[in-house]
Amino acid sequence: MSPTISCDSVYKIFGANANKLLADSNGSVDAKQFQEAGCIVGVNNASFDVEKGEMLVVMGLSGSGKSTLLRCISRLTDATAGKILVDGEDICLMNNKQLVELRREKMGMVFQNFALLPHKTVIENIAFPLQVKGVSTENSMYKALEMVELVGLKGRENYFPRELSGGQQQRVGIARSLAVEPDIWFLDEPFSALDPLIRKEMQDEFLRLQGVLNKTIMFVTHDFDEALRLADRIAIMKDGIIEQLDTPGNIVLNPATDYVKKFTEDVPREKVLKIESIMDPKDTNASDNLKVSKDDIIESVAEKILNSKEIIKVIDPKDSSEVGSINPSKVIKVLFGG
């Protein structure tokens, strides 16, 4: 089956003569050079796939082109060059009508600053995508009410955005983006305007939702902890270039470039690594009292393992078969170094 999103050498360059400069450069774009020529490089040669049901987290410093990449894929802006396939269809070739159709049926987006319509109440904001689609008022309100419940805003349907806290506003944004039941869900730093406590709460909420909905997701964030909690894979961007795109574990263990290395240096490994990455082969001495899954993040089971003081069996969560063993001393090594 073809991937849900597929990007092939996508470029986005801002500036008057971007097209000409890009054509002259033969695909190797140097951000500095372009800047001297009066162009800003937003996305530089991005190629990657996102599979159905996968969550790709895009990271990078401010100005690294994360939002621009998302905008290209949702065609809020036109990519300067490259091919972007969504469910096998090239969106760069779509006309306005097809594009409206695509957004109405397949895509949902959550914005960093909520972007709620100030003149509409909570329920009207959520029903808005349905109403522009032509769903009857009654049906769209019914559906919107369902969404209100899903994001836990029941009782606040008739509030205006300005009467809500940041966390509540973002719930409305999430509900709105989900109202049309999109397959693809874009989230551009959805939680970065929230304070840490609420952010944590919203992340849990988000994971719960994703557990239920299982959508294909591109999620932009600044926050490595957030990325680690959520991601199937992480893409790290710098000056428009995707420096590395891999699983969290690989990014931390095998950084592809110095930049990625620096980026991940301070990340505590136990937060990233799965048991799998430090387990030993099957061991007949392993105790039967305790089993851990190979997909468990080390940090989450470290206490258990250390308390048991014996070698523990590691199993595959799919069929509960034994796949290896783990020695507490290995865990100590990861936790305390040495």
Ligand X SMILES: Nc1ncnc2c1ncn2[C@@H]1O[C@H](COP(=O)(O)OP(=O)(O)OP(=O)(O)O)[C@@H](O)[C@H]1O
Judged by CB under 8 A, the residue of 10, 46, 73, 116 near another protein is: 116
CB of 178 to ligand X, least distance (A): 23
Q: Look at residue 64 and give the partner it binds from ligand X, another protein, Mg ion, none, a contact being a CB closer than 5 to 8 Å depending on partner kind.
A: ligand X
Site for another protein in 203-232 (CB under 8 A): none
Question: What is the closest distance, in whole angstroms, from the C-beta atom of residue 59 to Mg ion in the complex?
Answer: 11
Residue 52 lies near another protein (rule: CB under 8 A): no
Q: Least distance to ligand X from the beta carbon of 262, Å?
A: 17
Burial of 88 (0-12, 13-18, 19+ CB in 10 A): exposed
- Please say which residue, 73 or 292, places its beta carbon nearer to ligand X: 73
Minimum CB distance to ligand X, residue 27 (Å): 19
Distance CA 42, CA 13 (A): 5
116 binds, among another protein, ligand X, Mg ion, none (CB under 5 to 8 A by kind): another protein
Task: Provide the binding-site residues for Mg ion, judged by CB under 5 A.
Answer: 67
Q: How many residues bind ligand X (CB under 6 A)?
A: 11
Q: Which does 255 bind (CB under 5 to 8 A by kind): ligand X, another protein, Mg ion, none?
A: none
| Closest CB to ligand X: residue number | 67
- Chain centroid offset of residue 219 CA: 2
The stretch near another protein (CB under 8 A) out of 84-92, 101-109, 234-242, 315-323 is 101-109
Report the residue from 3, 8, 14, 290 that binds ligand X according to the rule CB under 6 A. Answer: 14
Q: Please check whether residue 249 is in contact with residue 292, taking contact to mean a CB–CB distance below 8 angstroms.
A: no
Query: What's the chain look like in SS3?
Result: CCCCEEEEEEEEEECCCHHHHHHHHCCCCCHHHHHHCCCEEEEEEEEEEECCCCEEEEEECCCCCHHHHHHHHCCCCCCCEEEEEECCEEHHHCCHHHHHHHHHHCEEEECCCCCCCCCCCHHHHHHHHHHHHCCCHHHHHHHHHHHHHHCCCCCCCCCCHHHCCHHHHHHHHHHHHHCCCCCEEEEECCCCCCCHHHHHHHHHHHHHHHHHHCCEEEEEECCHHHHHHHCCEEEEEECCEEEEEECHHHHHHCCCCHHHHHHHCCCCHHHCCEHHHHCECCCCCCEEEEEEECCCEHHHHHHHHHHHCCCEEEECCCCCCEEEEECHHHHHHHHHCC
Binding string, 66-95, against another protein, x = CB under 8 A? -----x--x-x-------------------
Task: Tell me which of Mg ion, another protein, ligand X, none is bound by residue 132, counting a contact when its beta carbon lies within the kind-specific cut-off of 5 to 8 angstroms.
Answer: another protein
Is residue 121 near another protein by the rule CB under 8 A? yes
For residue 10 the two structure tokens come to 């996508």
Site for ligand X in 32-91 (CB under 6 A): 40, 42, 60, 62-68
Q: Which of 22, 55, 86, 180 binds another protein (CB under 8 A)?
A: 180
- 318 by Cβ neighbours in 10 Å (0-12 / 13-18 / 19+) ranks as exposed
The stretch among 5-13, 24-32, 99-107, 324-332 that binds another protein (CB under 8 A) is 99-107
Q: Residue 21 CB, nearest distance to ligand X (Å)?
A: 14
In the complex, least distance from residue 331 CB atom to ligand X, rounded to whole angstroms:
35
Q: Give contact residues for ligand X (rule: CB under 6 A).
A: 14, 40, 42, 60, 62-68
Q: Give contact residues for another protein (rule: CB under 8 A).
A: 71, 74, 76, 96, 100-101, 103-104, 107-109, 111-121, 124, 128-129, 132-133, 157-158, 160, 173, 176-177, 180
